[in-house]
Amino acid sequence: MKNHNRISIMIVAGAGFLLGPCLRGRAQVDELPVYEVIQSGAGEAQVKGLAGSLKLPREKLSVQRGVVSYADFSEYLNVPTRPVTDPAQLEKLKAMSRDENQDASISFEAIDFDALKKQRVLDSASALKAASAAFASAGLHLESAKAVAGNTVFAASYTNDAGAVISVERKLDTKVNYKFAAPNGIPFIGPGAQLQVAYNAKGSVIQLYYGWREVKEGSKVKIISETEARSRIARLLPAGAKIKLRLVYWCPPFDNAAAKGEPLNPTSIIPWYAYTGTIEMKDPATGSRSVKTTKERLILATDDPAYVPSIQFKVSGSGSSRVEAGVEASGGRAPYTYVWTGSNPAVLESRDSSVRYVPLARAVPREGTEFAPNETVALNEIVSVTVIDANGIAVLASQTIPVQAQPIISQSHGGGSHGTACYGCESPGEPEEWTQERVGWQQGMSNPGAGSQKFCWLGDDSWPGDYIKPSKPGTLPAKPWINGDADYSNWGINTANLVLVNGDGWPDGFTAMYPGAPQSDYNNDVNLLRPGNPGGTVQMPTHTYNVNYDHSWGPEGSNDRLYWLAGLLCECLDVTDGAGLNTHQRWGAAFGGLHIFTGFASGAAYSAGAFPKAFAEKILGVSGSSQTIKNAWFNASTDTAEGTAAAMGPITTGAVSDLNDHYIGQGSMGPSIAPANITGWWSLHQ
């Protein structure tokens, strides 16, 4: 159980790439400079220079708060497809599809393997040369940046009607990324340190993103010693985790996702320690051991109050059915943004310095009974607040108190249309991990066209069972956090069209929690493991349960709505795992009509909510045309430095796929492909 009346305060930011030198073997740093922002984004002369040097019409460039972006999706991330026109093939496809596939928005598009095999890309040397010349001509100051070339890769394997297996792997574009660093070699990372350009085979620009603040060296601050940093980090990781850390300058996004998209205009960029923890996991059932590495997270590398806010946090309501909390902030740079978490969704919307709410419990009624209208249940309520200053520095405080909470009653869909948009979120690490990412997602999905939020499970309310169909669909079995509630009214992932999973992952599993779980169990003892995992699929602190969740994800049941599962999970879609299994060998069995599973190959990065907000806004067309699910995921990753984007999905008769799905109401989407009709798989990774 959680400890009552325990208060914890920490400085948090999140994850990034392991791009810079680690500290082992380096001399201890006592002081480091703070970098002062002298220009935020590109000036108008630089924008015009970019348009001219890259041979792009000025009106085609999007410029928001100095951030310059452009994408031609007829070529960028484009996989050639062809419409299915043969009447016999169309009838076959429609016959195997759900009733909602008769809707006019459903389109049948086949991957054009012949055209794909003919695609070529620009060589890396030519791309690097072109980018260097173009940015120099545009007047961008990139003396501190190093260019690295790479490609987006599409792979597919498909069995055609003749029984022949068609496999192909092709590069789709050539992109040049710029990595910024201080003169002492310490890297600038984060969504505020981004520059990428992509070229087609002819050397024409098909994508651009420039989001960098020009800086100059300022005064120095005292740095926390590595020994002290390791001590602080150890308190944030499971016991025994091996720590790897480095010094970085984290550059915040250009808007404050937690403040409903208000501009974020930091005046100072300060040093941080970025770290990962390597954790050894033991399967209680088999004794087998495996290793996983957390996302890279951040703690501040200085305690200087001129840059680091401090807070006083008070919570009341112990033993009652009402919670009140307030916070006072000082230091750092005002004004402050306040982000609250608690069991009642209403508190998630507050941006005031105090909150008052009725606690709610995700409680399972006793077998064969229902909760009485005024019945309450005992709950250990975690109340937390994240205070973010004007430089993007976040400070978290949390306290746990016993309360009497109102149970959350399931809400039947009542046979509503599959075409009515809805979404959900699983965020098991809260309140101590990834709060800003969840807030960014909710802010992005608050725009018109997103529909309704079916659920948002935080902390110990986010269960492995949410991804598992129970043996009797639509019911609530004993211990649903183990045995499944994926399609139980507004409880599991199948009850929403699009679900964001906001946590940690590795190639063969991702994090979850269970009722009453202490925060120390997050990313340690509770996980959903891949279907068919030899030691079981639901891992708990004392036992691993072999629950079969094959075909659990999708819209195939009467109460099921899930088309897209978006995993803000590092490594979950690595090309292969330690046993050499590819993405569909690991996760394909869970598809039960699911269209697309997005995630990350290798590490995911921290964006202070900028990535999930950008993903949501791109699928909804907030600042332009609506983008497809896969394009929005990859483009948001590029814009915010959020990891190595990846995606996968099924292929059916005639090489038809859901590759170019749009969100509900934003454009066409492909058919729901039942497990029996899957004849192949596609994957995409940067």
CATH number for position 397: 2.60.40.10
189: in domain? yes
Bridge partners of residue 222, in order along the sequence: 31
Residue 156 near residue 680, CB atoms below 8 Å: yes
Of 255, 273, 300, the position where a domain reaches its end is: 300
pLDDT per residue over 545-585, tens digit each? 999 999 999 998 888 999 999 999 989 999 999 899 999 99
Higher pLDDT, 442 or 259: 442
As a whole number, the mean pLDDT across the chain is: 90
Which of 116-125, 283-292, 359-368, 578-587 is predicted least confidently? 283-292
Residue 645 near residue 572, CB atoms below 8 Å: no
Same domain, 266 and 320: no
pLDDT of residue 12: 43
pLDDT of residue 70: 96
Tokens matching residue 257? 């996702």
Q: How many Å separate Cα 228 from the centre of its chain?
A: 30
Of 268, 300, 332, the position where a domain reaches its end is: 300
Same domain, 139 and 37: yes
613: in domain? no
Residue burial 195-224, b: 16+ Cβ < 10 Å; e: rest: bbbbbbeeeebbbbbbbbbbbeeeeebebb
Residue 559 near residue 474, CB atoms below 8 Å: yes
pLDDT of residue 283: 64
Residue-by-residue DSSP string for 129-188: HHHHHHHHHHT---TTEEEEEE--EEEEEEE-TTS-EEEEEEE--EEEEEEEE-TTSPEE
Bridge partners of residue 76, in order along the sequence: none
319: in domain? yes
659 pLDDT higher than 50: yes
Same domain, 194 and 72: yes
Residue burial 473-500, b: 16+ Cβ < 10 Å; e: rest: bbebbebbbbbbbbbbbbbbbbbbbbbb
Q: Is 453 helix (H, G, I), strand (E, B) or coil?
A: strand
98 pLDDT higher than 70: no
Same domain, 267 and 333: no
d(CA 290, CA 296): 19
Same domain, 198 and 59: yes
pLDDT of residue 491: 92
pLDDT of residue 19: 36
Same domain, 218 and 312: no
pLDDT of residue 103: 64
Same domain, 309 and 323: yes
Same domain, 289 and 310: no
315 pLDDT higher than 90: yes
Residue 647 near residue 573, CB atoms below 8 Å: yes
Q: How confident is the model at residue 26 (pLDDT cuts 50, 70, 90)?
A: low
pLDDT of residue 369: 73
pLDDT per residue over 155-204, tens digit each? 999 998 889 999 999 999 999 999 999 999 999 999 999 999 999 999 99
Angle value at C-alpha 199, between 198 and 204, nearest 5 degrees: 130
Angle value at C-alpha 443, between 659 and 620, nearest 5 degrees: 35
Q: Give the chain's radius of gyration (CA, Å).
A: 25
DSSP structure class, residue 554: S
232: in domain? yes
Of 284, 300, 316, the position where a domain reaches its end is: 300
Domain count, the chain: 2
Give percent of the chain above pLDDT 90: 75
Give percent of the chain above pLDDT 70: 92
140: in domain? yes
Q: How confident is the model at residue 14 (pLDDT cuts 50, 70, 90)?
A: very low
237 pLDDT higher than 90: no
Angle value at C-alpha 644, between 641 and 650, nearest 5 degrees: 135
pLDDT of residue 489: 86
The domain of 333 spans 305-409
Nearest to 511 by CA among 491, 483, 539: 539
d(CA 457, CA 362): 9
pLDDT of residue 101: 52
Higher pLDDT, 162 or 12: 162
441 pLDDT higher than 70: yes
11 pLDDT higher than 60: no
Q: Is 238 helix (H, G, I), strand (E, B) or coil?
A: coil
Which of 133-142, 148-157, 215-224, 363-372 is predicted least confidently? 363-372
> Which residues, 6 or more positions from 135, have their beta carbon under 8 angstroms from its beta carbon?
50, 53, 142, 195
Quick one: average pLDDT of 456-469?
Answer: 96
Quick one: average pLDDT of 115-134?
Answer: 96
424: in domain? no
Same domain, 276 and 398: no
> Which residues, 6 or more positions from 289, have their beta carbon under 8 angstroms from its beta carbon?
280, 281, 282, 283
Same domain, 202 and 331: no
Quick one: average pLDDT of 409-417?
Answer: 55
Nearest to 203 by CA among 134, 103, 285: 134
Angle between helices 435-444 and 610-620 (to 10 degrees): 20
> Which residues, 6 or more positions from 506, have their beta carbon under 8 angstroms from its beta carbon?
292, 293, 570, 571, 572
Quick one: average pLDDT of 102-126?
Answer: 90
Same domain, 358 and 248: no
pLDDT of residue 418: 60
CA distances from 231 to 12, 17, 116, 242, 301 (A): 15, 22, 52, 12, 13
540: in domain? no
At residue 504, what is the residue type?
A: D
Same domain, 294 and 382: no
pLDDT of residue 415: 42
677: in domain? no
93 pLDDT higher than 90: no
pLDDT per residue over 282-300, tens digit each? 666 666 667 778 888 899 9
